[in-house]
Every structure is written in C-alpha cells, then in structure tokens.
Amino acid sequence: MDITPQHLSYVLRLADSALILGQRNTEWCGHGPVLEEDIALSNMSLDLIGQARLLYTHAASLEQAMTGKTRTEDDYAYFRAEGEFANYTLTELPHYGPLSGTAQAEKDYAVTIVRNFLYASLMAHLWTALTASTDSQLAAIASKSIKETSYHLHHSREWLLRFGDGTAESHRRAQAALDYLLPYTREFFSVDDVEQRIAAAGVGPLTADLQDAWFDDVREAFDEATLSLPEPVKHITTGKHGEHSEHMGFVLAEMQSIARQHPGATW
C-alpha cells in the first residue's frame, strides 16, 4: 500500500473530528441534566477520544513511514495549531445553540443531542464502508468503532424522538437545534482532492456517496420526531480544510493548556 499525504490527511480528519466532539461532550461531565445522562455523555466522550487515539497512533505510523518523522498521539492532539486541525466545523460548536443570547448562556441539551445524532448517523455509514479499506489498520479501527457508534446513534435518536414529540418547549428547542445545525452537515459531503485520492486508492469512500443513505436515515428520524427540515443553504463550512469557526480556539485553549504548560511531562 502506497502512503500518500492525502492518506495521512484523511486519517487525521477522522481523528480530529472524533477528538473535538469528544472534548465538547466532556463539558457535560458533572453537569448533565440527569445523572444517567451525565454518565452516558461521559462514556460516549471516552469512546470518541478512544477512537481519536487509535487514529492518531495510526497517523503517526503513516507519517513515520512517509517522512521518517516520529510523532505521538499527544503531539497531534496537544501541539498542533488551530489551522492544522481538520475536524468538521459541526464538532467544534458550543452547546448553547441558537436560543441563547450570549456565549455565557446555559448549555442546551437539545443542541448536544441533535449534533450527536447527525454525526453518529454519518459515522455509522462511514465506519461500515471503512471496514473494506485497503488500509488494514484503518479497517480494524472501523470495525471496533462501529459498535460504539451504534450506541451513540441509538442514544441520540431516542432522545431526539423524546424532544421532538414531547412537550411544546422540548419540541421548540429540538427544532431550533436542527435549524441551527443541519446546514453544517453540508461539509460532510463536499468532495475535495483528499477524498478523491483516498477513494481512488480504496482507502475510504467518497463521503458524497453516503449522502443519500444518511439523509434517508435522518429524514426518517425527523419525521418520527415531528421535526421539520429547514430550507437548504448554499454555504459550506471549511473546518476539514483548517478554516474554523470562532469557537475552535477556545476548545483548543482548554484542551491543550496543561500539556503546553508542561511539555514533555508524563503521567
């Protein structure tokens, strides 16, 4: 298997999205709306960060084979700048959503649930496709990750239905979260040179080829939850190209601060 810069970039995209969403969801630890959800979000965060660790370790082996440079998972997570991260913009957004007046507002669990549902719905299809990757290590990571993602999808879908088909207030919040977040999913399916190269090499699918199946799944859930799809937008966010929202720097500042204060420390 020939290792190309696009191959490494693709693995880092997967890792970065898992890491940043995992970091975001840890913000509910100790603050969940009920104890069971506090524990559930913490466990799902650990799943996502665990996926990121496997992917970063694999990225390090790819980079070493390609350039001879030795890196660790900590190097990728803690010592890259904002523009070097290639996560979907959706994953870096705060939890407070469109119904809040300021960035200091209380987190909105509807935003968390809708975001997790949209992302897990994609990854359920993507991990499945990646089990057939010509990159055997990536295929093995995908096989493990499918099981975790299935639970994430089940959890978020069940809560989506409760919110959407619940009280007037829960429905209002779920609809507002959907209106806010769905436009960011256009980035999932925008094709670029990285995806074209890895698809040609059999490393991974064109995510655009998964769009119809993903949309069928989310539309079915939204219909059941009595939620309406917002009007489509033309803008496509660019997080996977290293161009992020204003929120990304704050996520990294919190996540990286200890490691940067004590470089080389072990624990």
Q: Is residue 246 part of a domain?
A: yes
* 123-178 pLDDT tens trace: 999 999 999 999 999 999 999 999 999 999 999 999 999 999 999 999 999 999 99
H-state helical runs in 131-267: 136-164, 168-181, 193-200, 211-224, 248-261
Q: 78 and 161 in contact (C-beta within 8 Å)?
A: no
Number of domains observed in the structure of the chain: 1
Q: 38 and 52 in contact (C-beta within 8 Å)?
A: no
- Residue 101: the pLDDT is 57
Q: Is residue 144 part of a domain?
A: yes
Neighbouring residues of 80: CB distance < 8 A, sequence distance ≥ 6 = none
For residue 105, pLDDT over 90 is answered with no
Q: Is residue 14 part of a domain?
A: yes
Calculate the average pLDDT of the chain.
94
* 30-62 pLDDT tens trace: 888 888 888 999 999 999 999 999 999 999 999
Q: Is residue 266 part of a domain?
A: no
Residue 64, domain extent: 5-261
pTM, two decimals, is: 0.95
H-state helical runs in 165-237: 168-181, 193-200, 211-224
C-alpha triplet 207, 190, 17: angle, nearest 5°: 70
Q: Is residue 267 part of a domain?
A: no
- Residue 109: the pLDDT is 95
Q: Is residue 236 part of a domain?
A: yes
CATH number at residue 89: 1.20.1260.10
Q: Is residue 169 part of a domain?
A: yes
Sign of CA dihedral 24, 26, 30, 36: positive
